[in-house]
A and B are shown apart, each in its own frame.
Chain A
Amino acid sequence: MTGRRAVLIAAATVAAVGCSTSAPDATAPQAEPKSGGSLTFATDADPGCLDPHQSPTAASQLVTRNVVDSLVAQDPKTLELKPWLAESWTASPDATSFTFTLRTGVTFSDGVPFDANAVKANFDRIVLPATKSLLAASLLAGYDGTTVDDPRTVTVKFKAPNASFPQAASTAFLGMQSPKVFEAGPEAVCRKPVGSGPFVAAERQPQASITLTKRADYNWGPETAKHRGAPYLDLVTINIVPENGVRMGSLRTNQVDAIANVPPKEADGLKGAGFEVLAKAQPGIAYTLNLNAAREPLSDVKVRQAIAKAIDTEAVVNNLYQGKYPRATSVLTGATPGYASVLGTSQFDAAAAERLLDEAGWAKQDDGTRAKNGKPLSIEWTFISPAREQRDLLAQVVQQQLKAVGVDVKLVPLAAGEVIAKTARGELQMGDISFVRADGDVLRTVLTAPRGGAPAVVAPEVPGLLTAAAATVDDGVRKENYAKVQRSLIENATAIPVYDPTYLLGVGKAVHGLGFDPQGLPSFHEAWVSR
C-alpha cells in the first residue's frame, strides 16, 4: 500500500547513517553515553493499531520495533542476518523448513519467559484469520505449522518454499509477543503490545502521544547493535504532530528533541540552524505509479508506454524534492537486495509519447485533448489522502505533464481504506505505491497479493519467476529473476518508478546515538541525551 505501510527493513544504524550529512558520531565521538533522562520525539502520523502482527504501517513500526524483539536481526550495513532471540538457525535445502535454536534467559515484560512454545504461539496466531493480519500473515505465506522440538528448539515449516523467511523473521511484523496477551483478543493487543524489547509501551493518548518506558533488565540486544544492554533513556515520548510546519517549529524551538519526516525543502535550512538531518534511503518498492492494464484505455500497451514517456520524473524529483529523494531507476530502490538498474537514464520523451498515442488511434483534438471514436482519453488516478511526502503535489505535477501530451488525468484523493477497497474490486485505473522491505521478495508481496495501488496485471512469466526466486537459496538465481521481473514491469509500462523514498530525520543538539535501526526507522535503544 502506498507509503506508510511499509516493512521498513534495512540498512543503516548509527554508523551508516551519515549518508546525507556529517556523520552523527561526529557530535559525540568520544563522549561516554549517559544513562537517564527522557527524549521527546514528534512523528507525523498516529500509528493506530500497535500490534505488529496486525498493522502494516510504518507509523506503528516506529513504536513496536522498540517493544518487540525478533528471532533474527538484519545487519544495517551488510544486510546480513545475525542472531537475536535465536542464537542460530538452519534452513532445509528446499527452503521449506527452518530450525531455530533459541537464546535462554529472555522474558517478556509481563514476566512470561520466552521459549519455543512462545515462538509457536506467535506464528500460529499470526496466520489465524481472527488476528486480521494485514501484512504479517503474507510474510508467512504457505505456513504449515511450527513444531516444538525442545524448549529451546523450534522448526517452522512451509508448504511451499519461502527462502526469504529468515529475513522476514527479522522484521517487527514477525516479532515475538507474550502469548499471554493474545488471550485478551486482537483489539487489546492493538492498544498495548507486550514484547521482550528494550522499551515497554506505557501510556497512550489516541492522536496525541505514546509513552515508552525503559526495560531496566533488558540485556539481549541483537548482535548488530553496539550497545546490547538496557536502553540509556528512561522515557521516550512520541508526540503525534501531523502538520509539517508545527513539527519543524517544535524542533527549532527545542520543544521536541527529534522529528520524523523533515520536508525536503526545509532540510537545508534546518542544517543551517545547527540541527542534524539524517537521511536513510529506504529499501523496497520505490514510489511507483501503476497503470491497471485490465482497464480501458490502459489495456493498450502503447497508451501505457506513452504515459510512462510523458512523465518527466527528473523534473519531479528536482522541483518537488530538491534532489533530496533520488530519481528511481527501477521498481526496487537502489538500497534493496536484488535491485537492477533498468532506467539508467530517464525515459522522459514527450515527442515519443505523442507519437505512441497517435499510433494507438487517440487523435489530438483542437483543444489539445485526445479522443478515439468520440471518447476522450481520460484516466482516473486514485491516491491516499492525506498524502505524505507531498505526493498530492506530485500528482498535480504529473497531471500537468500528461495534459501536455493530451492525456486528461482526474485526481481522486481517498482515505487509505477506500483505496484498498477500490483496488480489491479491480476498479483502480491508476494508483501509486511504495513499500519498504530489505529483500527483493517484496516484489512477490506486492505483485501477488492485492495491495492498494499495486499493478493488477503483470506479464504471464512474472509469477513463475517470483515463485522460483522464493524457492531457492541461490542468490544468483534470485537476483537474475528479480532483475527480469523489474525489466518486465518497465517494458510493459504497468509501473512507472518515480523516486526512492528517503527518511529524513531531524535531530536536536542534545540528542546522541539516535539513528536508524536495521528496519530503517528511528531507533531509541542506543539513543541518549546530554542535558
Chain B
Amino acid sequence: MKRPGVVLSLLVLAFVVACVAVPGLLAPTPPDRIDPLVMLEPPSFAHPFGTDQLGRDLFSRVVHGARMSVLVALAAASASLVVGALVGLVAGMLGGWLDALLMRAVDVLLAFPALLLSLAVIGILGSSVVNVAVAVAVAGVAPYCRVVRAQVLHVRTRPFVAAATVSGVRPSAVLVRHIIPNAAGPVLTLALMSLGVALLASSSLSFLGFGPRPPDADWGTLASSGRDYVGTAWWLTAFPGLMVVCTTLAVTALHRAVARR
C-alpha cells in the first residue's frame, strides 16, 4: 500500500457517499425522534455520537444531515465550474475588449474574501438552502474563470490547433474537439479542491444560521445548535464539526494526489 492517505480519504468519502445515498440504512433511528429520557447523553454504545438537547440521536442527525451538506456543496461547486468555465472560454477564445472586461470583473470578485462575498449575496437574496448554494457558487466562480482562460490561451498556441484551423475546421469544432478536451485536466483537478472549499463555506453559512430550517439540519446547523453547550456537551459541536473537517480533508488529499500525477 503505497498511499495510505489516498486510501483513507477514499474510505471517508465512501462513508459520506453512503450517508447521502442510504442514511436510513446506516442510522435506522429517525433523526427527529425526541426522547426526553436521554437528553444530552454523552457518546455511548446506544448513541455513538451522544444525544442532543431534546434527546435526539446525534449520530442519526449527522448521517441524515450529510445529504443536505454534501448536495449543497456539490451544487455550488458545479455551478461555479459551469459558469466559471463559460466565462473563461469566452474570454480566452474571443480576447480583445471582452476579455479585458471579463477579467477585470473577475479581479473585482477576487478582491473580496470569499465568505464575505457569500454573506453579501445572502444578504441580497435572503436566507434559504438554495440561496446558500448560490452564494457559495458566486464566491467560487473567479478561480475557474482564471484557470480556464489560461488553459485556453495556452492550448490555442499549440501547433495542432493551428493545424486544425488552417486546414479549414470550423472554430466551434476546434473549440469542442481540440481546445476543451486539452484544457479540461487542470480544471477538473481544481473542481475537486473547490468541492472541499464549497463544503466548508456552506457549512460556515449554515453555522451562521442561513442553512436549512428545523428540524432539518446539516452539519453546520448541528454544530451551531450545540454552541451553547460547548462547556457541558462537547459532542454536540465536535462530531458535526469533525465530519466537515474529515470530508474536506479527504477531498483535498484526493485533489493533491490527482494534481501530482
- A343 within 8 Å of B (CB atoms): no
Q: Are B214 and A245 in contact (CB under 8 A)?
A: no
Residue of B nearest to A249 (CB): B231
User: Is B231 in contact with A397, judged by CB distance below 8 angstroms?
Assistant: no
A20 / chain B contacts, CB cutoff of 8 Å: none
For B229, list chain A residues within 8 Å (CB).
Answer: 245
Q: For B228, give the chain A residue with the smallest CB separation.
A: A244
**Which chain A residues in 366-381 approach chain B with CB under 8 Å?**
none
Stretch at the interface among A203-211, A387-395, A495-503: A387-395
- Kindly provide the distance from the CB of A327 to the nearest chain B CB, expressed in whole angstroms: 15
In the bound complex, residues from chain A placing their C-beta under 8 Å from that of B228 are 243-245, 263
Q: Contact: A386 with B209, CB < 8 Å? A: yes
Contacts of B178 in A (CB 8 A): none
Q: Bound state CA distance, A385 and B230, in angstroms? A: 21
Q: Which residues of A contact B39 (CB under 8 A)?
A: 319
A319 in contact with B54 given A245-B227, A397-B34 (CB within 8 Å): yes
A-chain residues with CB within 8 Å of residue B168 when the two chains form the complex:
none
> Do A400 and B34 have beta carbons less than 8 Å apart?
yes
Contact B53 A390 (CB under 8 A): yes
Say whether B213 faces chain A, with CB atoms less than 8 Å apart.
yes
Contact partner of A243 (CB less than 8 A), chosen from B32, B213, B227, is B227
Contact of B230 (CB < 8 Å), options: A245, A315, A396: A245
What A residues does B230 contact at CB under 8 A? 245
Q: Whose C-beta in chain B lies nearest to the C-beta of A252?
A: B231
Interface: B181 (CB within 8 A):
no
Number of interface residues of B (CB under 8 A): 18
Secondary structure class of chain A's binding surface, majority of residues: helix
The answer to the question of B96 belonging to the interface, with a C-beta cut-off of 8 Å to chain A, is no
> Which among A243, A396, A412, A413 is the interface contact of B54 at CB below 8 angstroms?
A396
| Residues in B neighbouring A410, C-beta threshold 8 A | 213
- With a cutoff of 8 Å between Cβ atoms, the chain A residues found around residue B33 in the complex are 400
Partner of A413 from B32, B34, B55, B213 at Cβ < 8 Å: B213
Task: Collect the chain A residues with CB atoms within 8 Å of residue B53's CB.
Answer: 320, 390, 393
Q: Are B36 and A411 in contact (CB under 8 A)?
A: no
Residues of A with C-beta under 8 A to B34: 396-397, 400
Point out the residues of chain B lying under 8 angstroms from A266, CB to CB. Answer: 232
| A413 adjacent to B231 (CB under 8 Å) | no
B234 to chain A, nearest CB (A): 11
- Which chain B positions have C-beta within 8 A of A413? 213-214
Q: How far is the CA of A244 from the CA of B34 in the complex (A)?
A: 23
B66-103 CB mask vs A (1 if < 8 Å, else 0) is 00000000000000000000000000000000000000
Q: Are A315 and B36 in contact (CB under 8 A)?
A: yes
A392 with B214: CB separation less than 8 A: yes
- B186-220: CB near A (< 8 Å → 1, else 0) gives 00000000000000000000000100011100000
Interface size class of A (residues with CB under 8 A): 20 to 34
A399 with B215: in contact, given A319-B54, A386-B209, A393-B54 (CB under 8 Å)? yes
Q: Does A248 contact B (CB under 8 A)?
A: yes
Give the Cβ gap from B133 to chain A, nearest Cβ, in Å.
19
| Complex contacts, A411 vs chain B, CB 8 Å | 213-215
Q: For the complex, what is the distance from the CA of A397 to the CA of B32, rounded to whole Å? A: 9
Q: A319-B54, A396-B54, A397-B54 are in contact. Are A385 and B227 (CB under 8 A)?
A: no
Which residues of chain B in 48-62 are interfacial with respect to chain A, using CB atoms and an 8 Å cutoff? 53-55
Alpha-carbon gap, A400 to B214, bound state (A): 11
Q: Given contacts A390-B53, A393-B54, A396-B54, is CB(A412)–CB(B213) below 8 Å?
A: yes
Nearest-neighbour CB distance to chain B for A6, whole angstroms, equals 22
User: Which residues from A are CB-within-8-Å of B55?
Assistant: 319
Q: Could you tell me the distance between the alpha carbons of A318 and B55 in the complex, rounded to whole angstroms?
A: 13
Q: Which of B53, B209, B214, B231 has the most CB of A within 10 A?
A: B214
Chain B residues with CB under 8 Å of A397's CB are 34, 54
The chain B residue with its CB closest to the CB of A269 is: B232
Contact with B along A410-447 (1 / 0, CB 8 A): 11110000000000000000000000000000000000
Please report which residues of chain B, range 32-50, place their CB below 8 angstroms from some CB of chain A when the two chains form the complex. Answer: 32-34, 36, 39
Cβ of B217 to closest chain A Cβ, rounded Å: 10
User: B65 → chain A, closest Cβ, in Å?
Assistant: 15
Among B209, B214, B227, B232, which residue has its beta carbon within 8 angstroms of that of A396?
Answer: B214
**Residues 252-301 of A contacting B (Cβ, < 8 Å):** 263, 266
Given contacts A245-B231, A396-B54, A397-B54, 18 further A-B contacts (CB under 8 A): A243-B228, A245-B229, A245-B230, A248-B231, A318-B36, A319-B54, A319-B55, A320-B53, A390-B53, A396-B32, A396-B215, A399-B214, A400-B32, A400-B33, A400-B34, A400-B215, A411-B215, A413-B213
Q: Which residues of B contact A (CB under 8 A)?
A: 32-34, 36, 39, 53-55, 209, 213-215, 227-232
Report 27 cross-chain contacts, Cβ distance below 8 Å, ordered by A residue: A243-B228, A244-B228, A245-B227, A245-B228, A245-B231, A248-B231, A249-B231, A266-B232, A315-B36, A319-B36, A319-B39, A319-B54, A319-B55, A320-B53, A320-B54, A385-B209, A386-B209, A390-B53, A393-B54, A395-B214, A397-B34, A397-B54, A400-B34, A411-B215, A412-B213, A413-B213, A413-B214
Interface residues of A (CB under 8 A from B): 243-245, 248-249, 263, 266, 315, 318-320, 385-386, 390, 392-393, 395-397, 399-400, 410-413
Closest 6 CB pairs of A and B: A319-B36, A244-B228, A245-B228, A400-B34, A396-B215, A411-B214
